[in-house]
Structure 1
């Protein structure tokens, strides 16, 4: 297990030493506003950079994994230290209390602990391998959602029957195809079906698109089955319509979240008479009365945040309902895929992260 010098390692270690020097200098002036969190931030950056630099010189998997875990100590601390630094730098000292600092420390501690115990739960990365490029050795950590779900289920020997329908334009575009085939061969409860939309001459596998007929053919009866969909938005629109046509209930469909649409005016059902630049008044109730101006092409949540109205926001994709508000007057546009509960519809609640004003509104905050 020898360590090999390479230009990337030298640059990263030099960066770590520089960050460490800044950290020491800031700590010596820790009585000054912002100096202590700056010392913490730069020391965390130093650990991150040092771990990364040393790791690039090892080809041994165990050594590479150890230094990847060292990096996570710095990775986990950097966001929290940055937040505290910003609070002090902007004069919000009343927020930097011992209680709040203790609460903020929970997330980096938990993240670092999960990284160092990943072998027992696989919550940080599902799989890893060393890949080499010239003199540099990198650890390829696999985080993808569907890949993680499959590997985790198989590794833990959970009583699940899993069937992956993988749609691809050509066989050459497939990612991890050989590994997925090996997993299917090794586990009786996992099936892997590759579906090619533009097959080359002589191709004998399954061809076509992931439409209702193909899903019915491959899966059979959909009753009681849960579907996980992962891919670009155009695939969501296609596959979700197919599943709906098969009678799959909404609560049986899970999908990766990508946030609000890039251009909501291109969504099906958007009224042609409303332009994205049109601006409307939004009267806000429930806290201190306020009226804001909100453009039609911007999520209502973003407009509220520009006026310093803070709401809980987790997914920003219309799924979790954390940002819901009550619509008292006016009309909003919400993409058809938004996961609004029936009870919310009945009582006039909307998800602010994917609601777009079509006229003047009156809303009530929780």
Structure 2
């Protein structure tokens, strides 16, 4: 028997407030997309916000299956953040000539491969494994054994 009830926990509430801050920053970036770094800060904060939102939702569930699903979403979204941060910094320090479609495409390979590994983790366990008998408690993350691709 697996419960899948969701509860607003204190930590989820804090997470949702954080998501609101990311949304506000992304909105400001969107409104000022004509300025230097406007688009980059928008996309960066959308990715971080999606990851934070998924994690905040995850922490409200008391079932392993539900927490694992939301952790997948959070982890997959977070894989893009380092590349987006690098692009933002390159634009911010006026090295936009470095940000070419070819380089961005090359940098996108790793996050896409990791997101694919996360999506298919159930078949290979290379990103994480959930030990048999693991339980989930609302307000606390899963105790997973991290794999070599983590």
Query: Does TM, normalized by the shorter one, top 0.5?
Result: yes
2:67 alignment counterpart:
64
Structure showing greater relative contact order (alpha-carbon pairs closer than 8 Å, 6 or more residues apart):
2
2:14 alignment counterpart:
11
Deviation at 1:131, TM superposition (A): 4.2
Pair 64,109 (structure 1): closer, same or farther in 2 beyond 3 Å: same
User: For the Cα contact (< 8 Å) 1:69–1:116, is it kept in 2?
Assistant: yes
The aligned runs of 1:210-249 (5 Å cut-off) are: none
Pair 20,48 (structure 1): closer, same or farther in 2 beyond 3 Å: same
**Which of residues 124, 128, 136 in structure 1 aligns to 2:127?**
124
Q: The residue matched to 1:138 in structure 2 has which SS?
A: coil
2:28 alignment counterpart:
25
User: For the Cα contact (< 8 Å) 1:130–1:137, is it kept in 2?
Assistant: no
1:77 and 1:47 map into 2 onto residues whose CA distance is 11
Structure 2: state its 5+ residue gaps.
none
User: For the Cα contact (< 8 Å) 1:131–1:137, is it kept in 2?
Assistant: yes
The aligned runs of 1:35-54 (5 Å cut-off) are: 35-54=38-57
User: For the Cα contact (< 8 Å) 2:63–2:136, is it kept in 1?
Assistant: no
Report the RMSD for the aligned CA atoms in angstroms: 1.8
User: For the Cα contact (< 8 Å) 1:6–1:57, is it kept in 2?
Assistant: yes
Deviations 1:134-189 (A, max 9, x none): x51321121166xx9xxxxxxxxxxxxxxxxxxxxxxxxxxxxxxxxxxxxxxxxx
Q: How many residues align?
A: 144
User: For the Cα contact (< 8 Å) 1:47–1:73, is it kept in 2?
Assistant: no
User: For the Cα contact (< 8 Å) 1:51–1:67, is it kept in 2?
Assistant: yes
1:344 alignment counterpart:
none
Deviations 1:95-127 (A, max 9, x none): 111111111111111111111110111111133
1:144 and 1:36 map into 2 onto residues whose CA distance is 34
The structure carrying a bigger helix percent of its residues is: 2
1:154 alignment counterpart:
none
Q: The residue matched to 2:110 in structure 1 has which SS?
A: helix
User: For the Cα contact (< 8 Å) 1:44–1:73, is it kept in 2?
Assistant: no
